[in-house]
Amino acid sequence: MVSLALRLLIASIIITIICDAQNQSTLVQQAVEAAKIRARSLGGTGASALLPFTTAGVVSTWAVPANVDSFDLDVYGAAGATYTGSSTNTNTGGAGGHLTVLGVPAASYVGTTLYLYIGKQGNTFNGGGSGGTAGLIGGGATDVRTTSGVLSSRICVAGGGGGAGQTSGNLINGGGGGSSTGGNGVSLAPLTQTTGGGGGSQSAGGVGYTYSTFTGGAGTLGSGGTGVNGGGGGGGGYYGGEGGTRSSGGGGGSSFVNSAFTSLISTNAQNINTGDGFILITYYCASGFVTSGSNR
C-alpha cells in the first residue's frame, strides 16, 4: 500500500486547481480529475470513474465494498443564499468549505453503510440557519457519518456558508464555511459592529454581537443560528455559524474530522464552493482504484 506521505505530497500538488471559489459543476469535474490523477500517480490500474454524490438536500448511502484497503473523501459544504436587489446591489452568500481526508483505513467499515448528508445551497437541510424577516438562509453542511441521524457519528464535515444580509447595501455577504473556524459575516455599515454573524468553531457555535434590541441566533452543534431583522442565517457545520443581526451576513459553519483521522487531512479550505454541496469518494484495492458515487 502506498505511503501516506506520498499520497499527501501528490494531493498537495494537484489540489491547487481547486483552491478558489467556484460553482458546483466546475468543482465536481475538477475533483473527479484530481482524484484520477492522484490514484494513477499512486500506481492504480484498471480504474473506472463513476459520478460523485451530487444530489443535495438528501441523505445518500455508500456500502463499503469488500477487498478495499482505504478510501479518500472529498467533501464540499453548500453555499449560503445570495440576495440580488439590482444589477449594482448583490449580497453574496458565503461559499461552502472543502475538506479532503486521504487514506481512511477501510477495515472497520467494509460491509457497513456510510450515510452521506449533502448540504443544499440556501437551505435548512443539514443545518442551514433560517434568515430573519426576509433574510437569506445559510448553506447546509455536508458530512459522512456511520449512523443515520446521529451527529456524534460524523467522520468528517465540510461547513456551509452563511446567508447574505437582506438589505439595499452592497456586499453584505455571508461568512465562508469551512476550516477549523468558519468565516464571519459582513456587517451593515456604518453600524458599530465590526462583523456580521460569527463563524462556528471546534467547540461552540458562532456568536457575535447584539445591535440595539437585536441579537442573532447562536450556532449549535450541527446547525447555523437564525438571522434577526433581515440578517442572514448561519451556515451548518460541525458547529454552525451565528445568524446575522439587522441585515448583516450570517457566519459560516466549521469543518471537522474525527480525531482518529486528523493526520490524514490534506485540505481544509474555507469559502470554496458557491453552489450545492457534494461528496467524492475514491477507494483503493489491489486491482486499482474506483471513483465512486451515485444519486441514491
Q: What is the pLDDT along the chain (296 residues), one digit of tens a residue?
A: 445 554 444 444 334 334 445 666 777 777 766 666 666 555 544 333 344 899 999 999 999 888 778 888 999 999 999 987 766 678 899 999 999 998 888 888 988 999 999 999 999 999 999 987 667 999 999 999 999 999 999 999 999 999 998 877 677 899 999 999 999 998 876 555 557 899 999 999 998 666 777 788 999 999 999 998 889 999 999 999 999 988 889 999 999 999 988 888 888 999 999 999 999 988 877 555 555 554 33
* Residue 95, Cβ density class (10 Å: 0-12 exposed, 13-18 middle, ≥19 buried): buried
**Does residue 247 contact residue 167 with C-beta atoms inside 8 Å?**
yes
Alpha-carbon gap, residue 269 to 281, rounded angstroms: 18
Contact between residue 12 and residue 4 where contact means Cβ atoms under 8 Å apart: no
C-alpha cell at 252: 459560516
C-alpha cell at 71: 478510501
Are the C-beta atoms of residues 69 and 2 closer than 8 Å to each other?
Answer: no
| pTM (2 d.p.) | 0.86
